[in-house]
Amino acid sequence: MKDFRLYAITGEQFHPGRDLIDVMEQAILGGVDIIQLRDKTGSRDEVLAKAQALRALTRKHNVAFIVNDYIDIAMESDADGVHLGQGDLSLAEARKIVGDKMIGISTHAIEEALLAEAQGADYIGVGPVFPTKTKVDVVDPVTVNYVRQVSEQIRIPFVAIGGIKLHNVDEVIAAGATRICAVSEIVGSSNVKETCEAFLRKLERGK
Ligand code: TZP
Ligand code: MG
């Protein structure tokens, strides 16, 4: 797996009137090294079309591309991987379909993290660290304590997510996170590229 530091997830509700591909390209130019398509509202055809466009963009810039939920679309668009929640297809089932593509699993407690690691996840999501309105079915914030727990007990890559902003990311880094994911703070920014650069400066300093 190609490692990553700054993970951006699409959230088109945060940039009305601005093109998805333009926004994500600005994020890549700002240093994002992995992009996830997360679309909970579009039809399958719409999601597939976006996946194909993002695949072309990420290939042009040599950035990893992940599809949330739709394992079939991940395969059809030749994404680098799929991201699954606790309620989605099991890791074993997903692995049969995707082969050596990446599988990321959202986790909210150390038991889930340890299980995902044991079952062969390539990386785990750790969150929501802080309250967020971006995810509707969101569980209570796991807090930076869970980030610290994961950083001490888990050996596969993990990415902190949920309510992470430039003003609070230092706390997350101090708890042991070396990979950060944000939706609204990145794609809702009036200067997407600069926001990503600022996140990366903080990650660099936290090393
Ligand atoms: N999974 C856990 S929190 C979250 C997802 C997809 C949403 C994060 O969005 P934001 O805007 O960075 O809080
Ligand atoms: Mg899901």
pLDDT single digits (tens) 67-126: 999 999 999 999 999 999 998 999 999 999 999 999 999 999 999 999 999 999 999 999
- What pLDDT does 207 receive? 72
Query: What ipTM did this prediction achieve?
Result: 0.98
Encode 17-32 in three state secondary structure: CCCHHHHHHHHHHCCC
- What pLDDT does 66 receive? 98
Side-chain half-sphere of 34: how many Cα atoms within 13 Å? Answer: 25
Mean of all residue pLDDT scores within the chain: 96
Cα of 166 to ligand 1 centre, how many Å?
Answer: 14
Q: Which listed ligand is nearest to 87 at the C-alpha?
A: 2
pLDDT single digits (tens) 26-67: 999 999 999 999 999 999 999 999 999 999 999 999 999 999
DSSP 57-72: HHHHHT-EEEEES-HH
Side-chain half-sphere of 153: how many Cα atoms within 13 Å? Answer: 18
Q: Which listed ligand is nearest to 131 at the C-alpha?
A: 1
Cα of 67 to ligand 2 centre, how many Å?
Answer: 10
Residue 185: pLDDT over 80: yes
SS3 call for 178: coil
In the residue annotation, 106 being an active-site residue is answered as yes
- The Cα–Cα gap between 11 and 20 comes to 9
Note if the bond before 157 is cis, omega within 30 degrees: no
Q: Where are the domains of the chain?
A: 6-205
Atom of ligand 1 nearest to the CA of 186: 12
- The sign one gets for the Cα dihedral 43, 44, 49, 50 is positive
Tell me which CATH code domain 6-205 carries. 3.20.20.70
Q: What percent of the chain has pLDDT over 70?
A: 100
